[in-house]
Structure 1
Amino acid sequence: MQHITSSGYNIYFNDDCYSYLQALLAPGSYSNIFIIADENTSQHCLPNFLAQLATELPIEIIEFDAGEINKTIETCIQVWHALTDMGADRKSLVINVGGGVLTDLGGFAASTFKRGMDFINVPTTLLAMVDASVGGKTGIDLGVLKNQIGVINNPVAVLIDSQYLETLPAAEMRSGLAEMLKHGLIEDEKYWAQFSNLDGLTTNDLDSLIYRSVQIKNEVVMQDPTEKGLRKILNFGHTLGHAIESYFLESPLKTTLLHGEAIAIGMILEAHISVAKNLLPQAEYIQIKEVIHSIFPKVEFTPQDIDIVIGLLIHDKKNEAGKVQFVLLERIGHAVINKEAENQLIFNAFGDYQN
Structure 2
Amino acid sequence: MTLPVADQYNIEIGPITEANFNWLSARNYAGWVLFADENTVELCLPLIEEYLPEDTPVIVAPEGELNKNLETCQSLWEDLFTAGVGRRWCAICLGGGVLEDMSGFVASTYKRGIDFLQIPTTLLSMVDSSVGGKLGVDFNNLKNSIGVFNNPIAVWIDPRFLQTLSDREVRSGYGEIIKHGLIADVEQWNKIKELQDLTSVDWQTIIPASVNVKREIVLEDPFEKGRRKALNFGHTIGHAIESYWLESDRRLLHGEAIAAGMIMEAWLSTQQTGLTPQALAEITTYCLAVYGHQVVPPEAFDQLIALMQQDKKNEDHRINFTLLEAPGCARVNETADVELIRGAIEYYNGMDKLP
Asked if these proteins are the same fold (TM beyond 0.5), I'd say yes
Distance (whole Å) between structure 1 residues aligned to residue 220 and residue 78 of structure 2: 36
Q: Is the 8 A contact 1:17 1:161 kept in 2?
A: no
- Which residue of structure 2 lines up, in the alignment, with residue 20 of structure 1? 20
Q: Is the 8 A contact 2:35 2:59 kept in 1?
A: yes
Which amino acid in the other structure matches residue 310 of structure 2? H
Distance (whole Å) between structure 2 residues aligned to residue 47 and residue 275 of structure 1: 48
TM-score, structure 1 length as denominator? 0.95
TM-score, structure 2 length as denominator? 0.95
- Which residue of structure 2 lines up, in the alignment, with residue 292 of structure 1? 287
1:65 Cα deviation from its structure 2 partner: 1.0
Q: Does 1:261 align with 2:256?
A: yes
Which amino acid in the other structure matches residue 48 of structure 1? L
5 Å-filtered alignment, 1:230-249, equals 230-249=227-246
Distance (whole Å) between structure 2 residues aligned to residue 240 and residue 204 of structure 1: 28
Among 153, 157, 176, which residue is 1:156 paired with?
Answer: 153
Among 86, 90, 95, which residue is 1:93 paired with?
Answer: 90
Distance (whole Å) between structure 2 residues aligned to residue 345 and residue 100 of structure 1: 31
- Which residue of structure 2 lines up, in the alignment, with residue 41 of structure 1? 40
Which amino acid in the other structure matches residue 9 of structure 2? Y
1:16 Cα deviation from its structure 2 partner: 5.5
- Classify the secondary structure of the residue corresponding to 2:117: strand
Call closer, same or farther: CA 1:143–1:18 in 2, change over 3 Å. farther
Q: Does 1:115 align with 2:116?
A: no
1:23 Cα deviation from its structure 2 partner: 1.9
Call closer, same or farther: CA 1:169–1:123 in 2, change over 3 Å. same
1:15 Cα deviation from its structure 2 partner: 2.7
Q: Is the 8 A contact 2:16 2:48 kept in 1?
A: no
Q: Does 1:330 align with 2:325?
A: yes
- Which residue of structure 1 lines up, in the alignment, with residue 217 of structure 2? 220
Q: Does 1:144 align with 2:141?
A: yes
Which amino acid in the other structure matches residue 50 of structure 1? E
Distance (whole Å) between structure 1 residues aligned to residue 253 and residue 199 of structure 2: 24
Segments of 5+ residues of structure 1 without an aligned counterpart are none
- Which residue of structure 2 lines up, in the alignment, with residue 318 of structure 1? 313
- Which residue of structure 1 lines up, in the alignment, with residue 4 of structure 2? 5
Q: Is the 8 A contact 2:319 2:335 kept in 1?
A: yes
Q: Is the 8 A contact 1:244 1:309 kept in 2?
A: yes
Segments of 5+ residues of structure 2 without an aligned counterpart are 351-355
- Which residue of structure 2 lines up, in the alignment, with residue 349 of structure 1? 344
Which amino acid in the other structure matches residue 11 of structure 2? I
1:307 Cα deviation from its structure 2 partner: 1.7
Distance (whole Å) between structure 1 residues aligned to residue 307 and residue 209 of structure 2: 33
Distance (whole Å) between structure 1 residues aligned to residue 80 and residue 263 of structure 2: 42
Distance (whole Å) between structure 2 residues aligned to residue 353 and residue 128 of structure 1: 27
- Which residue of structure 1 lines up, in the alignment, with residue 353 of structure 2? none
CA deviations on 1:227-254 (whole Å, 9 max, x unpaired) are: 011100000000001111111114x4x5
**Runs of 4+ displaced beyond 4 Å:** 199-204
1:58 Cα deviation from its structure 2 partner: 3.7
Q: Is the 8 A contact 2:221 2:227 kept in 1?
A: yes
Call closer, same or farther: CA 1:289–1:200 in 2, change over 3 Å. closer
Q: How many residues align?
A: 349
1:200 Cα deviation from its structure 2 partner: 6.4
Call closer, same or farther: CA 1:294–1:200 in 2, change over 3 Å. closer
Distance (whole Å) between structure 1 residues aligned to residue 330 and residue 186 of structure 2: 11
Which amino acid in the other structure matches residue 43 of structure 2? H
